Amino acid sequence: MFMKRFLWVLLVLGFAGVMGYAQQTADKKKWAEEYQKRIDATIASRKAQKQNDPNDLYYSRPDFVVYRPAVKPEVIGDCYNDHFQVFDGPNGAMFALTCQATCEGALDQHVSLFKSTDKGKTWTGPKVLAGPKTMHEDVPIASWGFPMVSRSGRIYVIFNQYVEGKVSTHRQHTGLMTGIYSDDGGETFSKPQQIPIPRTSNDSSDSSIPPEWVVWQKPLRLAEGGKYLVGVTRYAAPEHHHKYRTVTEFIRFNNIDDNPEPKDISLSWMMTNEKVLHTGVHCEEPAIVKLPDGRLFALMRTSLGSPYWSVSSDGGENWTAPEKLLNKDGGQPFLHPVSPCPMYDWKGNEAGSGYYFALIHNQYDFNNRNPWQQRGPLYLIAGKYQPGAHQPVWFTAEPKLFIDRPNGNSFYTSTTQVDGKTVLWYPDQKFYLLGRVIGDEWFKDVK
């Protein structure tokens, strides 16, 4: 009797597994079919852009060109480039990570690495570290890579590894935190290992659905003892949407300088569960800078028509309630839709110099119920630390035009110092990978 029951259970489980696999295959096919028109349109647009106007690459007046996509989707999906993270590596080399695909959200979304040994003048082509190179490779997508380098020079790349199963197949943000590393200057990388993510009260009550999370800025050595710190967007499960849709949390990486295996990386999650930073709907994609007094300042995009800010006085452990970004205390708000609003220290990522800049769209239509409004021209606002002020960084009242493309300006950016100058690295139209020096001219009106 026991053996019959055992065999029956195996049969049922086997049938369920086959049905589950069939459903996943059907979901992937449906997803691919839904994206095909978008893929075709993207390829046609990019090829026209590349062939008809070769000068389009220089529209934004870049000082550095990291990558001009080849637009050969049969070789590699590269028509989409996003989350552009440039960083300094060992032996004077520079590296760049990007999330690539044939088009945004396509089934070939992957993490690629570039390398420069001449201070950004020339770069290698993309090396795919995780995810499928093309739409024809049956490999789960990988997204949103970000780097850290240990004191000894080990390069870590952590990314979001998509998980098939009960999760909806179009949810790019639902995946396992996965890490790899290189000890030979990015030539080879270890096998991927999972880094556990603690579940929170805002995740799905179905434990088979992983948390939804995205890190969009590279971690910086801003936490106590020079440990890496980064902000993270967490997506609340639908059952929690009565409270908010997205929230901001923070991660401290405690032992990167001990060169641990990725599975042994120690993380401290801060501002989680009911302590999350939120504005009632969307509060996400934080960018962190250090203030001269040692505090940390974070700028976040929201769906309320303006960026919001928060301050931490204890190295990222606790943060103040988010407030609307004004040009100064009692001043005017800056207008901005749900679009990246990066902010950086002008003198270096961890300098605490007191001089900062951010990028905003400088417009928002409050009659438009869609907060993801057209991402038109981008403007740079320069700011300076104000001792004793409530909002610790005050900005120039008149934003300066940075790029005037009519749309497509979604800048998931990073900065480095090259020969003592700050370079903003940006994915123009989520296509070209470029760099531009942020010089004195942007700060001449800062008092």
- pLDDT at res. 173: 60
Whose tokens are 């195996």? That residue is 10
What's CA 137's distance to the chain center, in Å? 24
Q: For residue 362, how many other CB atoms are within 10 A of its CB? A: 18
Would you say 143 and 172 are in contact if contact means Cβ atoms under 8 Å apart? yes
**Which three-class secondary structure state does DSSP give residue 158?**
strand
What are the C-alpha distances in Å from 273 to residues 86, 97, 202, 314, 406?
Answer: 31, 30, 6, 19, 39
Amino acid symbol at 293: D
Instruction: Determine what percent of the chain falls in helix, strand and coil, rounding each to the nearest 5.
Output: 15, 35, 50
Q: What are phi and psi of 215, to 5 degrees?
A: -105, 125
Per-residue DSSP letters for 286-326? EEEEE-TTS-EEEEEEESSSS-EEEEESSTTS--PPPEE-B
- pLDDT at res. 210: 84
Per-residue DSSP letters for 30-60? HHHHHHHHHHHHHHHHHHHHHHH-GGGGGTT
Rg (CA), the chain: 22
Longest dimension (CA), the chain: 86
pLDDT per residue, tens digit, the chain (447 aa), is: 434 443 343 333 343 333 333 444 555 566 667 777 888 888 888 888 766 787 899 999 999 999 999 999 999 999 999 999 999 999 999 999 999 999 988 889 999 999 999 999 999 999 999 999 999 898 888 999 999 999 999 999 999 998 765 444 445 566 899 999 999 999 999 999 999 999 999 998 988 888 889 999 999 999 999 999 999 999 999 999 999 999 999 999 999 999 999 999 999 999 999 999 999 999 999 999 999 999 999 999 999 999 999 999 999 999 999 999 999 999 999 999 999 999 999 999 999 999 999 999 999 999 998 999 989 999 999 999 999 999 999 999 899 999 999 999 999 999 999 999 999 999 999 999 999 999 999 999 997
Would you say 336 and 360 are in contact if contact means Cβ atoms under 8 Å apart? yes
- pLDDT at res. 30: 67
Name the β-bridge partners of 119.
Answer: none
Would you say 413 and 340 are in contact if contact means Cβ atoms under 8 Å apart? yes
Q: Which residues contact 46 (CB under 8 A, 6 or more apart)?
A: 69, 71, 79, 431
Enter the pTM of the model: 0.91
Q: For residue 205, how many other CB atoms are within 10 A of its CB? A: 10
Q: For residue 119, how many other CB atoms are within 10 A of its CB? A: 14
**Burial class (CB within 10 angstroms; exposed 0-12, middle 13-18, buried 19+) of 136:** exposed
What are the C-alpha distances in Å from 88 to residues 150, 154, 192, 197?
Answer: 11, 12, 22, 27
List the end-to-end C-alpha distance of the chain, in Å, as a whole number: 86
Would you say 322 and 308 are in contact if contact means Cβ atoms under 8 Å apart? yes
How would you classify residue 357: left for phi > 0, otherwise alpha for psi between -120 and 50, otherwise beta? beta
